[in-house]
Amino acid sequence: MSDPEYMKRLMLLDNELRQPNSVLNVDGLLDGVVALVADLDYPAIRRNKSAEQFLQRFAESSDFIKKTRMSGDDFDVVKVIVKVLLGKFSWCGISHLEKFMQ
């Protein structure tokens, strides 16, 4: 692991994963795993051995990713701004952030 060329490539990869606008951003890769697991989870597709092996390996990880990432439950509605036919626009605050700010 003392190869300087390898360390240089590793640092470049690390920088790409941390850049918010990068195609290789960590959030995008996590979204890809969750979407792929959801798309492969159909009986007709599960007959494929490769798809079944992928699901066996990553289904639990996909569930963990969905549980731990930010969701609508992490927000408190402060005020409903406008109600429209298909939903409503609300001003929200992050639930756990308010506890630290008080």
Residue ranges per domain, the chain? 4-69, 71-102
* Burial group, residue 35, by CB count within 10 angstroms (0-12, 13-18, 19+): exposed
Does the pLDDT of residue 83 top 70, yes or no? Answer: yes
pTM of the model: 0.67
Residue % of the chain over a pLDDT of 70? 91
Q: Token pair 């402060």 is at which residue?
A: 78
- Half-sphere exposure at residue 53, Cβ-oriented, CA atoms within 13 angstroms: 3
pLDDT band at 101 (very low <50, low <70, confident <90, very high): very low
CB neighbourhood size of 30 (10 A): 16
Residue 88 neighbours by CB under 8 Å, 6+ apart: 80, 81, 82
Helix (H) or strand (E) holding 55: helix 49-68
What's the pLDDT score for residue 32?
Answer: 93
Helix/strand/coil for 43: helix
Which range has the worst mean pLDDT, 26-40, 44-58, 64-78?
64-78
